[in-house]
Structure 1
Amino acid sequence: MKRTVKLTSLKEAVSTVRDGERIALGGFAIYQRPMALTAELVRQKKRQLTLIGILNGIEADLLTGAGVLHCIETSYVGLERFGLARNFRRAAESGVLKTVDYPELIAWDRFRASQEGLPFWPCTFLGGSGVAANNPDIVPFACPVTARQMWAVPPANPDVVLLHAPLGDEYGNVAFHSRKMLPQSADITLSRCCDRVIVSVEKIVSPQQLSRQPHLVEIPAFRTTHIVEAPFGAHPTSVPGIYDCDERAFWDYVTASATPQRFAQWLQQHITGVADHQAYLDQSGNRRLLALRNMAIPQ
């Protein structure tokens, strides 16, 4: 049977995301976020999206500040050592953005429920928590075995998942380094909970190259709908083993997000005012980007 070539552009891949859909973005905290795909969501002026996450960072704050999100369901939105996610904080406090809180472990378990096709995830540790009291989608029930109080937590159920990974081929097979950490494990889980998976990769390689190390292919082609080559597609977040976090870019973002007016200027300069991801990289400069590679820990 003839295989389907799924290699396409960022613009084409993101054009398949429809307004009002539920999306999940890969990575974890400030690591391995699909930032090139996130920026393209902004450029295409997507609206009324719901973001489902585990522990979110700059990608969520960027989408919030750009007016893309209607709702976010997660355990945390912040920039870790870089401080608060200010766009998110302003929008949440003003009521512009609907927020639904889940504990971090349960936020991950929601994706596991979707992966297994379960109508809910059973939880035993929400007693006394405001999370359950303020979320009508969490349903209390008695365990049929022990009669103990439990809670049924709804699955994540994203309409589309967007990820960034190190390697892939034109058919949509996606490979990770053998030394996987939390961001990679999260991506693999997300890829198994949805029928539409868009992946950007640092490099497109031949199918023959991947076949020589089949154990590294964690996302097989039948799970992906689109694959895009996007070097530094996680910038300014890091891709462990390939390049480090761009601290200067993060601090520039933090400074710009202090007020809506300054953030609008930053958005125009770095996202909406540049044609595409390549133009964004050109703006950052090769020397600066290559220096981030030199700081990465070899695999």
Structure 2
Amino acid sequence: MLSENASGKCMSLQDAARKIQPGDVIGIGGMTLYRKPMAFVRELARQRARDLTLIGFCSGFEAELLTAVGALSALRTCYFGLEFLGLAPVLRKAVEQGGVKVIEETEYTIAVGLQAALMRVPYLPSRDCEVGTDFFRIRPDLRRAPCPVTGDELTWFPAVSPRVAVIHVPLADEQGNAWLGGQHCVDAQLAMAADYTIVTAEKIVPTAQIQQAQGAAGLVSFMVDAVVEAPGGAHPTSCYPDYPLDVVHISQYLRQARAAGVQAYLERYVHQSGDEREYLQRIARDIHEHA
């Protein structure tokens, strides 16, 4: 049941980003280039965040951008890249040179690891999973051990516990009830497994509008600690049904990154854009110029 009486949890994007501390493990909602909390990521870059570990179901432009500004030290994911647009060049180079550590996951290991965190147990078992693969070589924290009840040999997966989760949504109310729309990924599990959960939303709306949306709330207030209104907050990734993936913008980024590097991009869209209002004005000018 959605709560309409709890005290509001709204705060500014700047204040929400200040919740992140050096060394934090952050769970990022969405998937690859879809519904990523990019406004929050840009604000982390402006605040010069450092030594972050990201947990992502499938990672994309958010991990690339945080690597470009020197904020990322480790990544737990089953994939990183820019899908049909190609590889994430800065992140790939950082991984190859040892600047960013990749903890390889599968979608299954992340899902089971989050479930273990929700159950407050250090490991959860599964029958015969990953047997016959190299996964045990690259992930020595996985275990093959007998079930203490039946004696059956099982694979044991460690809990995955972000300190902070950040999830972008189309609609949320002031209490943190949120409509995810489209693909939910593991956003609800991230929100519940984290010690502190931040929702950025295209719009802050009355609770009744969340209740009436198709599928109703994907996140409810007890899962969420802070709410930020961030129109265009997933750009250049998509946010259904508000806007599609900005292929032109990411292609422009890739051209710059592969040629002269990313500094010109970062100056224009992160550092010279002092906040998200200025960022969106620059994007609007870009669209007008390409029209």
TM-score by length of 2: 0.90
Consecutive unaligned residues of structure 2, counting only runs of 5 or more, are none
Secondary structure at the counterpart of residue 218 of structure 2: strand
Q: Which amino acid aligns with 1:266?
A: Y
Secondary structure at the counterpart of residue 234 of structure 2: coil
Distance, in Å, in 2 between the alignment partners of 1:41 and 1:95 is 22
1:158 aligns with 2:157: no
Q: From 87, 98, 105, give the equivalent of 2:108.
A: 105
User: Is the CA contact (8 Å cut-off) linking 1:195 and 1:223 kept in structure 2?
Assistant: no
Distance, in Å, in 1 between the alignment partners of 2:133 and 2:66 is 29
Q: Which amino acid aligns with 1:270?
A: Y
Secondary structure at the counterpart of residue 165 of structure 2: strand
Q: CA deviation at 1:220?
A: 1.6
Match of 1:296 in 2: none
Q: Which amino acid aligns with 2:134?
A: G
Superimposed CA distance per residue, residues 30-57 of structure 1 (whole angstroms, 9 cap, x where no aligned partner): 1111111111111111111111122111
Secondary structure at the counterpart of residue 285 of structure 1: helix
Distance 1:213 1:85, change over 3 A: closer
Distance, in Å, in 2 between the alignment partners of 1:257 and 1:146 is 54
Superimposed CA distance per residue, residues 146-189 of structure 1 (whole angstroms, 9 cap, x where no aligned partner): 54432222111000000100111122221234xx32xx242222
Secondary structure at the counterpart of residue 270 of structure 1: helix
Secondary structure at the counterpart of residue 5 of structure 1: coil
Superimposed CA distance per residue, residues 69-128 of structure 1 (whole angstroms, 9 cap, x where no aligned partner): 111111111111000011111011101111111223212322222223231132332223
Distance 1:45 1:140, change over 3 A: same
Match of 1:263 in 2: 262
Distance 1:73 1:168, change over 3 A: same
TM-score by length of 1: 0.88
Distance 1:57 1:215, change over 3 A: closer
Distance, in Å, in 2 between the alignment partners of 1:206 and 1:226 is 16
Match of 1:210 in 2: 210
Distance 1:2 1:205, change over 3 A: closer
1:7 aligns with 2:10: yes
Using the TM superposition, name which of 140-149 and 160-169 deviates more: 140-149
Match of 1:134 in 2: 138
Q: Which amino acid aligns with 1:53?
A: G
Distance, in Å, in 1 between the alignment partners of 2:200 and 2:216 is 17
Distance, in Å, in 2 between the alignment partners of 1:33 and 1:130 is 30
Q: Which amino acid aligns with 2:263?
A: A
User: Is the CA contact (8 Å cut-off) linking 2:179 and 2:213 kept in structure 1?
Assistant: no
Q: CA deviation at 1:214?
A: 9.9
Distance, in Å, in 2 between the alignment partners of 1:93 and 1:49 is 18
User: Is the CA contact (8 Å cut-off) linking 1:167 and 1:202 kept in structure 2?
Assistant: yes
1:31 aligns with 2:30: no
Distance, in Å, in 2 between the alignment partners of 1:97 and 1:213 is 40
RMSD over equivalenced CA pairs, Å: 2.3
Secondary structure at the counterpart of residue 80 of structure 2: coil
Q: CA deviation at 1:212?
A: 5.1
User: Is the CA contact (8 Å cut-off) linking 2:114 and 2:190 kept in structure 1?
Assistant: yes
Q: From 115, 119, 124, give the equivalent of 1:121.
A: 124
1:226 aligns with 2:226: yes
Distance, in Å, in 1 between the alignment partners of 2:55 and 2:7 is 29
Q: CA deviation at 1:286?
A: 7.2
Distance, in Å, in 2 between the alignment partners of 1:34 and 1:237 is 9
1:78 aligns with 2:77: no
Q: CA deviation at 1:213?
A: 5.6
User: Is the CA contact (8 Å cut-off) linking 1:7 and 1:227 kept in structure 2?
Assistant: yes
Q: CA deviation at 1:206?
A: 2.0
Aligned-residue sequence identity (percent) comes to 32
Distance, in Å, in 1 between the alignment partners of 2:46 and 2:30 is 21
User: Is the CA contact (8 Å cut-off) linking 1:28 and 1:186 kept in structure 2?
Assistant: no
Secondary structure at the counterpart of residue 110 of structure 2: helix
Superimposed CA distance per residue, residues 224-250 of structure 1 (whole angstroms, 9 cap, x where no aligned partner): 111111111111111122211111011
Distance, in Å, in 2 between the alignment partners of 1:106 and 1:223 is 22
Secondary structure at the counterpart of residue 164 of structure 1: strand
Consecutive unaligned residues of structure 1, counting only runs of 5 or more, are 292-299
User: Is the CA contact (8 Å cut-off) linking 1:116 and 1:193 kept in structure 2?
Assistant: no
